[in-house]
């Protein structure tokens, strides 16, 4: 045991040197702070408070009576061709009539993150990494195979006998037949198709079908909406990266998308929480609901529209479906 002090001595020396280095660094930091003007610890503050105030002249919609359900954790929202409302939450999906009265409930084995309506009353559900299909009576028709370990399904859209699946985990839109056959992948970087590639810093990726049957996909990291053909060719796109009310700011916005019967786009955002409308050309049209209408940290504002033009906004914080009509 006589050699113990020799083994401990190098360790003590390292600790002493680290302490000296930390002291020098702390002294340098204190000296630097003393050079700043009194009371000014950050000469370049990131202040967005001014952008959280909505100009009333830009508000094009008014809120009507919210729709409440028996669910406690709302996740996904969609409408059917006959204007019924589908909403997922907990481990169930509810079918509501156009006015929000519950028609039926389908209990699931796990929470569905998103929902879409298909032909003949079929209901498609995104269950994190796979899709399940139910008929209008609530009977499960199919459970598709997993899209992989990285899959994180965030949105679904049906066009005839085609299903488009937004997968934020894999950063791709899967193109399937409604019978479950894989037809292709959309949104991957491909110069030959003019596709810049989806940039998805956070788990939000949405899509929708416009009145002409074309697929629109949100590219949130690029603050863009992109229009694709079924084989993945980029047809058109528009974007506006700006903290201004007409643009999209932060790392990745918009988070959700819906398209009105006239082709106008409805978008929702996180960070500066708001819902807006853009004309079919991509020109800013106005505000549906500004930051004042939502809790500060609200996320997950899924969107749907009805044939009348009424906009439905899923509000997880208030646990209801907010409803807005044009002024």
pLDDT in tens, 150-206: 999 999 999 999 999 999 999 999 999 999 999 999 999 999 888 899 999 999 999
Asked which of 38-42, 154-158, 209-213, 261-265 is least confident by mean pLDDT, the reply is 38-42
- Do residues 147 and 165 touch, judged by C-beta distance below 8 A? yes
Q: What is the mean pLDDT of residues 256-274?
A: 97
CA distance 294 to 297: 8
Rounded-to-integer distance, Cα 165 and Cα 7, Å: 62
Q: Other C-beta atoms within 10 Å of 232: how many? A: 20
Contact 235, 225 (CB under 8 A): no
- pLDDT(43) > 90: no
Is residue 113 within 8 A of residue 107, CB to CB? The reply is: no
Q: What is the pLDDT of residue 247?
A: 96
Residue 24 has pLDDT above 90, yes or no: no
Chain centroid to CA 46: 24
Token pair for 53 = 């105030």
Q: State the alpha helices, DSSP H only, in the chain.
A: 4-35
**Domain at 49-326, CATH homologous superfamily:** TolB, C-terminal domain (2.120.10.30)
Which pLDDT score is estimated for 327? 97
Residue 118 banded pLDDT, cuts 50, 70, 90: very high
Token representation of residue 89:
């939450």
- DSSP letters for 64-129: -PPB--S-SSEEEEEE-TTS-EEEEETTEEEEE-TTS-EEEEEE-SS--SEEEE-GGG-EEEE-SS
Burial string for 32-63 (b: 16+ CB within 10 Å, else e) reads eeeeeeeeeeeeeeeeeeebeebeeeebebee
Q: How far apart are CA 261 and CA 258, in angstroms?
A: 10
CA 31 to CA 152: how far, in whole Å? 49
- Angstrom distance (rounded) from CA 82 to CA 3: 86
Q: Across all residues in the chain, what is the average pLDDT?
A: 89
Q: Which residue has the tokens 């994190």?
A: 128
Looking at the predicted structure, is the pLDDT value of residue 4 above 70?
A: no
- Res 29 pLDDT > 50: no
Residue 16 pLDDT greater than 80, yes or no = no
User: pLDDT-based confidence at 39, cuts 50/70/90?
Assistant: low
Sign of CA pseudo-dihedral 15, 21, 24, 27: negative
Residue 160 CA to residue 304 CA, distance in Å, equals: 18
The least confident of 29-43, 51-65, 263-277 is 29-43
pLDDT of residue 53: 87
Q: Could you read off the pLDDT of 78-106 as tens digits, one per residue? A: 999 999 999 999 999 999 999 999 999 99
**Cα–chain center distance at 315:** 13
3-state SS, residue 14 = helix
Determine which of 38-52, 60-74, 218-232, 248-262 has the lowest per-residue pLDDT on average. 38-52
> Cβ–Cβ contacts within 10 Å for residue 1, how many?
4
Q: Flag whether the pTM goes above 0.75.
A: yes
pLDDT at 41: 55
CA of 243: how far to CAs of 60, 113, 228, 270, in Å?
A: 20, 29, 27, 12
Q: Is the pLDDT of residue 37 over 80?
A: no
């Amino acid at each position: 045991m006589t050699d113990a002090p020799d083994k401990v001595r190098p360790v003590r020396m390292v600790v002493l040197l680290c302490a000296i280095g930390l002291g020098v660094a702390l002294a340098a930091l204190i000296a630097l702070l003393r050079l700043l003007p009194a009371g000014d610890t950050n000469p370049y503050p990131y202040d967005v408070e001014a952008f959280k105030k909505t100009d009333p002249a830009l508000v094009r919609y008014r809120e009507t009576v919210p729709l409440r359900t028996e669910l406690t954790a709302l996740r996904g929202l969609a409408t059917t061709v006959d204007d019924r409302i589908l909403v997922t939450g907990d481990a169930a999906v509810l079918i509501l009539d156009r006015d929000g009265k519950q028609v039926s409930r389908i209990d699931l084995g796990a929470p569905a993150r998103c929902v879409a309506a298909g032909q003949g009353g079929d209901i498609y559900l995104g269950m994190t990494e796979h899709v399940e299909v139910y008929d209008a009576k609530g009977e499960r028709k199919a459970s598709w195979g997993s899209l992989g370990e990285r899959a994180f399904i965030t949105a679904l859209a049906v066009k005839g006998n085609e299903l488009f699946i937004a997968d934020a985990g894999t950063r791709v839109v899967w193109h399937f037949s409604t019978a479950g056959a894989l037809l292709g992948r959309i949104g991957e970087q491909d110069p030959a198709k003019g596709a810049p590639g989806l940039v998805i810093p956070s788990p939000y990726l949405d899509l929708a079908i416009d009145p002409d049957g074309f697929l629109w996909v949100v590219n949130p990291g690029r603050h863009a909406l992109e229009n694709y053909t079924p084989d993945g060719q980029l047809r058109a796109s528009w974007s506006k990266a700006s903290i201004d009310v007409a643009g999209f700011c932060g790392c990745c916005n918009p988070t959700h998308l819906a398209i009105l019967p006239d082709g106008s786009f409805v978008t929702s955002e996180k960070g500066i929480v708001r819902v807006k409308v853009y004309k079919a050309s991509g020109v800013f049209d106005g505000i549906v609901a500004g930051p004042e209408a939502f809790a500060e940290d609200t996320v997950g504002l899924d969107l749907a529209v009805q044939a009348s033009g009424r906009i439905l906004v899923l509000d997880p914080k208030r646990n209801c479906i907010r409803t807005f009509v044009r002024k």
